[in-house]
């Protein structure tokens, strides 16, 4: 069986399309493609993460653009691989998160699955998070269950650290329920800072951060944010960690250079993730990195320093490309929905029980 996973994360760095094959219980990446978001659409989606004017109409128009981009990429991928729409059992579409407020009882991912089904001729499964929120959960992260499927080991304790716009941990220990939670900012603040000062989409390999020095007082002020003291289940987003949050903290430290701010932001990501892991999986032997942050050499090295005795590797070392992990996960979530398989993990999200996630839009 072939599925397509569509993932557009909080980094807003592109729309990931993964063609995944299920054969004999194994999930294998067949092909993948990243569609760049037009600058105007990216900016509109960023602005929609905060309250603004005429939001309903703007959301409706933005999600139409998002869906046309996704459909064009999917149709092109099928053409390139000489596949028909009928060869694909379903598309699992995460959509694009514009608001995530589980404490207020809602999370909102736009992506018009009805239109995506029309434009591709393929059944679409979407809206994965809201059922978990309805059951009292955070609705995030959802990928730990997929990590469990791929990487759980009968004798070894492992953790998966996904570093996208935000970072989240999956904790896999033998004979224990899978746990996980959001750790805090991943790339979101580093990306925003380098975009502001160098007009670059991201800090390639963490080179700019590595050229600066960590400002310890600023770092401690950042780590004093109450989110970091909370225990999981917990999740976060741009509603909390954004440039306004950073600017408020920087107002007390006008002497800090832009380069040192970037170094401090990388240290914030590294320390918040390392502390979260050490506090929750004390016998961890291996940490696997996935998401765009897996390519940040400076972050990878710093995590290794903060986690002595734990082997820190890219998920590629175990055969799964870190760039496509989440898109693959939403292909799997589509399969679970169609098969009636619960795909949340209450120990991760805090939901009151296992739930089948997603809504189905037939071709």
H helices within 107-215, ranges in order? 113-120, 130-134, 144-151, 188-198, 207-210
Query: What pLDDT is recorded for position 214?
Result: 98
- CA dist., res. 238 & res. 248, Å (int): 15
Please count the CA atoms within 13 angstroms of the CA of 291 that sit on its side-chain side.
27
Mean pLDDT of 89-110: 95
Phi, psi of 136 (to 5 degrees): 90, 10
Angle between helices 216-223 and 258-280 (to 10 degrees): 50
Mean pLDDT of 172-194: 96
Q: What is the pLDDT of residues 339-356, one digit of tens each?
A: 999 999 999 999 999 999
Query: What pLDDT is recorded for position 50?
Result: 86
Does 121 score more than 80 pLDDT?
A: yes
Of 31, 42, 94, 147, the C-alpha closest to 331 is 94
235 assigned binding-site residue: no
Does 11 score more than 90 pLDDT?
A: no
3-state secondary structure of 169: strand
Angle at Cα 107 formed by Cα 185 and Cα 90, nearest 5°? Answer: 100
10 assigned binding-site residue: yes
Query: What pLDDT is recorded for position 9?
Result: 79
Does 12 score more than 90 pLDDT?
A: no
Of 329, 332, 356, 331, the C-alpha closest to 342 is 356
Angle between helices 113-120 and 55-80 (to 10 degrees): 30
- Percentage of the chain beyond pLDDT 70 is 100
16 assigned binding-site residue: yes
Query: What pLDDT is recorded for position 282?
Result: 87
List the structure tokens of 96.
Answer: 């694009």
List the structure tokens of 289.
Answer: 């990195």
Q: What is the pLDDT of residues 282-326, one digit of tens each?
A: 899 999 999 999 999 999 999 999 999 999 999 999 999 999 999
Of 43, 39, 20, the C-alpha closest to 30 is 20
Which residues of the chain form beta strands (DSSP E)?
2-8, 15-23, 26-35, 88-101, 106-110, 124-126, 158-163, 166-172, 179-185, 286-290, 311-314, 359-361
318 assigned binding-site residue: no
9 assigned binding-site residue: yes
- CA dist., res. 40 & res. 46, Å (int): 10
DSSP of 74-100, one letter per residue? HHHHHHHTT--GGGEEEEEEEEEEEEE
358 assigned binding-site residue: no
268 assigned binding-site residue: no
Angle at Cα 187 formed by Cα 260 and Cα 198, nearest 5°? Answer: 55
Mean pLDDT of 40-59: 92
3-state secondary structure of 303: helix
Query: What pLDDT is recorded for position 135?
Result: 97
Q: What is the pLDDT of residues 212-242, one digit of tens each?
A: 999 999 999 999 999 999 999 999 999 999 9
Tell me the domains of the chain and their CATH numbers. 2-139+324-361 (3.30.420.40), 144-318 (3.30.420.40)
Rg of the chain's alpha carbons, rounded to an integer? 20
3-state secondary structure of 335: helix
Query: What pLDDT is recorded for position 29?
Result: 97
Does 208 score more than 90 pLDDT?
A: yes
């Amino acid at each position: 069986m072939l599925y397509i996973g569509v993932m557009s994360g909080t980094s807003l760095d592109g729309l990931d399309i993964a063609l995944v094959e299920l054969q004999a219980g194994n999930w294998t990446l067949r092909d993948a493609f990243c569609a760049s978001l037009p600058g105007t659409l990216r900016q509109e989606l960023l602005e929609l993460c905060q309250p603004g004017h005429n939001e309903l109409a703007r959301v409706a128009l933005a999600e139409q653009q998002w869906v046309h981009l996704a459909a064009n990429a999917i149709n092109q991928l099928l053409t390139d691989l000489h596949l028909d729409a009928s060869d694909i059992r379903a598309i699992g579409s995460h959509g694009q998160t514009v608001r995530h407020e589980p404490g207020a009882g809602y999370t909102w991912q736009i992506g018009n699955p009805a239109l995506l089904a029309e434009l591709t001729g393929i059944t679409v499964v979407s809206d994965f998070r809201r059922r978990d929120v309805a059951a009292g959960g955070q609705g995030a992260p959802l990928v730990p269950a997929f990590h469990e499927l791929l990487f759980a080991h009968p004798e070894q304790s492992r953790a998966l650290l996904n570093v996208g716009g935000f970072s989240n941990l999956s904790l896999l220990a033998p004979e224990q329920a899978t746990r996980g939670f959001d750790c805090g900012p991943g790339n979101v603040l580093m990306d925003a800072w380098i975009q502001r000062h160098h007009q670059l989409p991201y800090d390639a390999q963490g080179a700019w951060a590595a050229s600066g020095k960590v400002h310890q007082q600023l770092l401690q002020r950042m780590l004093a944010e109450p989110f970091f003291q909370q225990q999981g289940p917990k999740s976060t987003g741009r509603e909390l960690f954004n440039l306004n949050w950073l600017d408020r903290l920087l107002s007390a430290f006008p002497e800090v250079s832009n380069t040192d701010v970037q170094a401090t932001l990388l240290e914030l990501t590294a320390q918040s993730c390392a502390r979260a892991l050490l506090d929750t999986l004390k016998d961890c032997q291996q940490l696997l990195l996935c998401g765009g942050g897996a390519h940040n050499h400076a972050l990878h090295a710093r995590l290794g320093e903060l986690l002595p005795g734990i082997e820190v590797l890219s998920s590629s070392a175990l055969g799964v490309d870190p760039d496509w992990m989440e898109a693959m996960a939403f292909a799997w979530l589509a399969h679970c929905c169609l098969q009636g398989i619960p795909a949340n993990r209450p120990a991760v999200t805090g939901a009151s029980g296992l739930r089948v996630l997603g809504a189905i839009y037939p071709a």
